[in-house]
Amino acid sequence: MAARKSFLLRLSPEMMDALNRWAKDELRSVNAQIEYLLRESLRRQKRYIKNQDDQPPSPEPPSP
């Protein structure tokens, strides 16, 4: 497993409360919820490739 990096994240109390509720609803820790949200956002923007299943689609050939 690759080494993980840690960093400080400052959030407003309201945002932290919202993340706590959301994480609890999805049976995750707040840390896991934040990682999930970041991973999904990066995947949607095609900026994160973790494995073959997450590969962005191949560009379509030009139409004649």
pLDDT of 29-49, one tens digit each?
999 999 999 999 999 988 876
- Structural domain contains residue 2: no
Domain count, the chain: 1
HSE value, Cβ hemisphere, 13 Å, CA-based, for 29 = 3
Tell me, what's the pLDDT at 26?
96
DSSP class of residue 26?
A: T
Q: Where are the alpha helices (DSSP H) in the chain?
A: 13-25, 30-44
Radius of gyration of the chain (CA): 16
Tell me, what's the pLDDT at 8?
95
Residue span of the structural domain in which 38 resides:
13-51
- Structural domain contains residue 61: no
- Structural domain contains residue 33: yes
Specify the pTM.
0.68
